[in-house]
Amino acid sequence: GAVVSQHPSRVICKSGTSVKIECRSLDFQATTMFWYRQFPKQSLMLMATSNEGSKATYEQGVEKDKFLINHASLTLSTLTVTSAHPEDSSFYICSAVRTDYGYTFGSGTRLTVV
């Protein structure tokens, strides 16, 4: 139980285009999901907290207009990287909370902007 599916696992896009990453809780409902960014050999840095039916809460320094988060249902949150640039290339990871299990992480999305 407590499985989180993240899609796609890898994506390459051209500079200036937008990319959408999906995070689904497969066997439970998640009121809250989290989005992280991880650079090589570094820790996970929280970007935003996604709450079902309301606006996401962004961490300091994260551009809201660049990283659009939508948590439209209790099982799906999406992160859209708008007007992507090479510096946005990173490993993006989502997480969902199941209160009897804790935090479960998706398998991550490797974004490469060329």
The residue length of the chain stands at 114
Pairing type for strands 109-113 and 10-13 reads parallel
Under rule CB under 8 A, residue 79 binds other proteins? no
Piece in contact with other proteins (CB under 8 A), picked from 14-22, 69-77, 82-90, 103-111:
103-111
Give me the sign of the Cα torsion angle 55, 57, 45, 75: negative
Query: What is the C-alpha to C-alpha distance for residues 63 and 80, in angstroms, rounded to an integer?
Result: 12
Is residue 60 a contact point for other proteins (CB under 8 A)? no
Q: Quick check: 22 and 7 in contact, CB under 8 A?
A: yes
Smallest separation, CB 46 to other proteins (Å): 6
| Binding-residue pattern over the window 6 to 45 for other proteins, x denoting contact by CB under 8 A | x-------------------------x-x------xxxxx
Q: Which of 26, 33, 21 is nearest to 90 (CA)?
A: 21
Measured from the CB atom, is 77 or 106 closer to other proteins?
A: 106
The residue ranges that bind other proteins (CB under 8 A) are 4, 6, 32, 34, 41-46, 49, 91, 93, 95, 97, 99, 102-108, 110
